[in-house]
Amino acid sequence: MVLVQMGLRILKSNKDDELAWWVDSGATNHVCKDLRWFQVCKSIEDGSFVKMGNIATEPIKGIGRVLLTFTSGKTLCLDNVLYVPGIRKNLVSEIVLNKCGYQQVLESDKYILSIHGSFVGFGYVCN
């Protein structure tokens, strides 16, 4: 699992930090647990849920847009982010990033994100 560098500091020390975002190769959607991250969020009350790796489920309460700003100054715009208050960690879907044209490289415990050859941001590999 990868912890992405965000904001004004590298979020490596506290893995459950409210500001941390984890790049997840198994996630099929971006997922956020805190409504404060959303620029726009449409409420969902249709019984939809996310199924996690441990087979547990959590209800989806909304869907919207989240902007993540790296210390590089670049912003990653995540659309169709699921609002799931019961999830433990905010997740960035590696699958969705790939579909959007982003390149992701893991090198020497460092995660590097770019698009069309242009650097976006980086993070560090964590367990």
Domains defined for the chain, CATH in brackets: 2-125 (2.40.70)
- The model's pLDDT over 54-88, given as tens digits with 9 standing for 90+, comes to 888 999 999 999 999 888 888 999 999 999 999 98
Q: What is the pTM of this model?
A: 0.84
Tell me the catalytic residues: 24
Residue-wise burial string across 36-51, b where 16 or more C-beta atoms lie within 10 A, e elsewhere: ebbeebeeeeeeeebe
Strand order in the sheet with 62-69: 38-43, 62-69, 75-83, 31-32, 90-93, 21-24, 2-4, 118-125, 110-115, 102-107
d(CA 98, CA 85): 25
- The model's pLDDT over 23-46, given as tens digits with 9 standing for 90+, comes to 888 899 999 999 999 999 999 999
Question: What are residue 103's phi and psi, to 5 degrees?
Answer: -105, 135
Phi-psi region of 83 (alpha: psi -120 to 50; beta: other; left: phi over 0): beta
